[in-house]
Structures are given as C-alpha cells and as structure tokens.
Amino acid sequence: MQDDPKTLVSTQWLAAHLDDPDLRVLDASMYLPNAGRDAKAEYDAAHIPGARFFDIDDVSDLRSDLPHMVPPVEKFMSRMRAMGVGDGHQVVVYDGAGIYSAARVWWLFRLMGQDDIAVLDGGFPKWQAEGRPVEDLPPVVRDRHMTVRRQNHLVKDVTQVSAASKLADTVILDARAAERFRGEVDEPRAGLRKGHIPGSKNLPFTELLNEDGTMKDPEALRELFAARGVEAKTPVITSCGSGVTAAVLNLALERTGHRIHALYDGSWAEWGAFPTLPVATGA
C-alpha cells in the first residue's frame, strides 16, 4: 500500500516514525455491548508505545440522546489539550478490531479542521501479529493547544439526509451488514425499526477490507463504489448504525481521491427511531 499521513499508514510506517517528537498515537478502540470486550481494559493491558486512549463515548455530545454524537468544538479542544494533542502534531489512530472505530476519530479530526491524521492500516491486530512493541505504561502528556476550524460540509443532519433521500441527487451509502439493511434482523439497539433510508444503497464496511483487516487498494475501492453509482464527482452521504462504521466509507472514499462526501451523524440510531420518517426494506 501507499502510505499517506492524511488517510492511511502501514504498521511499517508507524514503526519507523514512532520516536518522532511530533507524532501522537491514539487508541480509539470501541466495541458493541454484545462483543464482550472492554476497550479501556485492553488498552491498559497493552497498547502501542506512547498511545493515548481516545474514548469515543466521552469525546461526544453528552446532551444528545443519541450515542457518541459530534462534541461541541470547545469540548473537543479541551479533551485534546488534556491528551496533549494539538497544532503541529501528526496523529495516527488505531483500534483493536483492525479498521473499525479508528475511522470515526479520523473523520472527527477532519470535521474539526485537522488534516494531519491517519488510520493505522490493519490496526492493533496487525501490529501485534508482526511482533512489534507494546507497553502498559500511561503516556507522559504535556498540554498542547489545538486550533479548530469546523468543516460543516463534512457532516449532515436528519433534515439534510431526508432532503437528499427525496431529491435523489446524492448517493446515500449504508455501511451496515446486508441483513440489517434489508430489515431481515432486529437492530442491536432496542426500539429501532428495521430497514433503511429510502433510496440508499448498501455497502457493508467489511467489503472494503481484506481478510487481514487492512483496507483494499484504491482501484478495488473505486470498483465497489462504482457498483453503487458513485463516480468521482458524485456527492455521497454515508450512514450506518450510529455513525462509526460509516466513517470507514468516508476514509475509503478519500483514499480513492473522492472529495465530495459527508457523514450522517445520527445514522440509523436516529432515523430508525422516528416513526414519521419513511423506511424501506429489502434490497
């Protein structure tokens, strides 16, 4: 793969840059409740040297009833300062699944106007499989100011997504598993309807990944997007269950050179809860 410090870097790249003074590594692992895994406990037991733990549920808008919504700018800035992440830093974010929740943090940094951030390709599983160093020590953190310029075009709300669904001028890509998209199984979150946003197309985020958890090459990604009607200039809105795996699609779009994409932050946790919003089922 081709390393790009603004989208995706290899374990080899990170190992070569691990001692760079302006590198910051974030462990952004999170799991669904039914996974039976404790992300913070796993971080405390072993993480990439110097990594800080990025708690996606904490760095969010706790005023919202929806899970891990985008935090207010001030909260994001204060949390990053406390983690010692700020202006002039190259950030690499990873997770314990391969490429899963790390993409959400990559997208969140992009939303906050921070471009020098990349996801670790293959994540912690690949790093460990290669026998690379880990530690259980808390990092030494020094405050660092971060200048935030929120990029509002990178996020969409329910009103904007509803309009896109009706106008059919934007491709809405749903990153959930096919059986959830078709409405054949219950949603993991209680009280949500089954199905998908009318007019949206299904592209499970797992289809973007190789068997070893790394991301497919840009040409293979372009073919997957093209099969859903996405070309270079096609506006795209990504969605999923709660705005996490949708970001894997945004990351993949960016890898192909596609620039006109946004993420529906509320995703199905919001759409599926509103009885007045239309729902489609089947393929």
Q: What is the DSSP string of 203-250?
A: --GGGGB-TTSPBPPHHHHHHHHHTTT--TT--EEEE-SSSSTHHHHH
Based on the residue annotation, tell me whether 240 is a catalytic residue of this protein.
Answer: yes
**Domain ranges across the chain:** 8-150, 153-271
d(CA 1, CA 89): 23
**Distance between CA atoms of residues 199 and 171, nearest Å:** 8
Q: Distance between CA 81 and CA 59 in Å, rounded? A: 12
Cα 128 to chain centroid distance, Å, stands at: 21
pTM for the full predicted model: 0.98
Q: Which CATH number fits domain 153-271: 3.20.20.70, 3.40.50.300, 3.40.250.10, 3.40.190.170?
A: 3.40.250.10
Assign domain 8-150 to its CATH architecture: 3-Layer(aba) Sandwich (3.40)
Q: At 39, which helix (H) or strand (E)?
A: helix 39-45
Q: Report in angstroms the alpha-carbon separations of 266 from 75, 232, 262.
A: 19, 26, 12
Rg of the chain on CA atoms, in Å: 18
Of 164, 240, 246, 269, the catalytic one is: 240
Pick from 101, 106, 109, 115: which is nearest to 67 by CA?
101
Q: How far apart are the C-alpha atoms of 253 and 265, rounded to whole Å?
A: 17
Amino acid identity, position 81: R
> Is 153-271 in the same CATH topology as 8-150?
yes
Q: Per-residue pLDDT for the chain (283 aa), expressed as one digit of tens each?
A: 899 999 999 999 999 999 999 999 999 999 987 889 999 999 999 999 999 999 999 999 999 999 999 999 999 999 999 999 999 999 999 999 999 999 999 999 999 999 999 999 999 999 999 999 999 999 999 999 999 999 999 999 999 999 999 999 999 999 999 999 999 999 988 899 999 999 999 999 999 999 999 999 999 999 999 999 999 999 999 999 999 999 999 999 999 999 999 999 999 999 999 999 999 999 8
